Amino acid sequence: MNTINPDRMGYYRVGWKKFYHKTLALMESRRTRYDLEWIFNDDVYGAIDWTVPIVESLDELYRQRAQQLREKYDYILLYFSGGADSSNMLRAFINNNIFIDEIIMQSPEPVKNKFNNVDKSSANVYSEIPFSAIPILNELKNLMNPATKVRYQDTSKGIVELLKDDNWFEYNPFGVAMGVNELARQYASFEDPEILRLTDTGKRIAQVVGTDKPMLMNANGDYYCYFIDGIALHCPPVELNLRDMLEKSLHTEFFYWTPDLPQIVVKQAQEVKKLCELNLQAKKIICNTKLHIEKLRTILHPVIYPSMPEVPFQTGKGSSGAVREKDYWFWDNAGEIQKNNFKSVTDYLQINIRPEDFKNGKAAQGLAGHRSRLYKL
């Protein structure tokens, strides 16, 4: 059996129990009063001396990662949003002539008639597909292998069907975030007919996603790098038949945050540290742990993606609450049954998770983040 340990995507430990879904872990923590820990490849990243400079360039490490994935899997599904992280990932394959079987762009079908390149608020995030992803693909089309399939994946149909069931949370609980978008993306592959057909072929399939940027803090003059759980959006399903499919055939791979090539994050962090040492203003922004990651991107992108042109169009990423600007399509189009079934779960979690584990104590504002252990640079 071609299984891959799901622990690679991160997991939670509460007492002696392991959880992949944060909401389930937080409920257990409240019930038992044991603290919650987020474990993210501690054994791999903890074995590295982060103070020793990585010799290879970032572009070379990105090439190595693309080649590594190509050699490991029979079929590569690359998820491309048009944002900087996925654009750099895409170019690592295409610029080095490493074949991608399929490029998938995700968004809910109902937003298509509202795409525009004027609004840069988070409510318009899906417009990054027509105004960033598509132009980038057009720019690279002469370099792309003509056998690469490019398609759009609707994330709305599966989530609307899922939420018709008032017991949906029992077999598809929230992972690291409480939001329609994350739940829809989490569920989309298991409702996609083309992916389901692929899993029947016996091929080893990788869903490659561009997670994410290094996070730094400075304490007493020392720099530390760490990972944030809210960015690691993959969660294995609870349903046994879906879990069986995932473990045998369909595997999620983080392009950057991977134990298979940990030098990527270490090198990124080392380059960001260099910038902080040279630029005090950049240091104040980068090492401000209260800032949302999107506030850092104009500073970080030139450092960690040195050969990538700026993307054509990018919006804000918005809040991490249960009801978000970019989920307007759901609240405008779903029926009262789906809306009530979603809200009943957030109400249930408000009671069964400690207030301090929500932002400002409220489920509607989302889960408080947990970070990994610190790695001294």
Per-residue pLDDT of 209-262, as tens digits, reads 998 888 999 999 999 999 999 888 776 666 545 656 666 688 899 999 999 999
Residue 97: how many other CB atoms lie within 10 Å: 10
For residue 246, the model assigns a pLDDT of 61
Q: Are 122 and 167 in contact (CB under 8 A)?
A: no
Q: Are 98 and 66 in contact (CB under 8 A)?
A: yes
* DSSP designation for 153: E
Per-residue pLDDT of 316-365, as tens digits, reads 877 777 888 889 999 998 999 999 999 999 999 999 999 999 999 999 89
| Residue 279 domain-assigned (yes or no) | no
Q: What is the mean pLDDT of the chain?
A: 91
Per-residue pLDDT of 2-29, as tens digits, reads 567 888 989 999 999 999 999 999 999 9
For residue 240, the model assigns a pLDDT of 47
Closest Cα to residue 89, out of 76, 79, 104, 101? 79
For residue 261, the model assigns a pLDDT of 98
Read off the pLDDT of each residue in 72-82 and give the average, rounded to a whole number. 96
Read off the pLDDT of each residue in 311-315 and give the average, rounded to a whole number. 91
Domain total of the chain: 1
| Residue 100 domain-assigned (yes or no) | yes
For residue 238, the model assigns a pLDDT of 62
Beta-bridge partners for 271 = none
- HEC string for 319-353: CCCCCCHHHHHHHHHCCHHHHHHHHHHHHHHHHHC
Asked whether residue 283 carries a pLDDT value surpassing 60, the answer given is: yes
Read off the pLDDT of each residue in 266-289 and give the average, rounded to a whole number. 93
Please give the residue range of the domain that contains residue 208: 6-214+228-261+305-376
| Residue 291 domain-assigned (yes or no) | no
93-102, 151-160, 320-329: which is most confident: 93-102
Asked whether residue 87 carries a pLDDT value surpassing 70, the answer given is: yes
Strands 11-14 and 17-19: antiparallel
Asked whether residue 1 carries a pLDDT value surpassing 50, the answer given is: no
Asked whether residue 312 carries a pLDDT value surpassing 70, the answer given is: yes
In this prediction the pTM is: 0.94
| Residue 21 domain-assigned (yes or no) | yes
**Tokens coding 148:** 């690469």
- The shares of helix, strand and coil residues in the chain, as percent rounded to the nearest 5, are 50, 15, 35
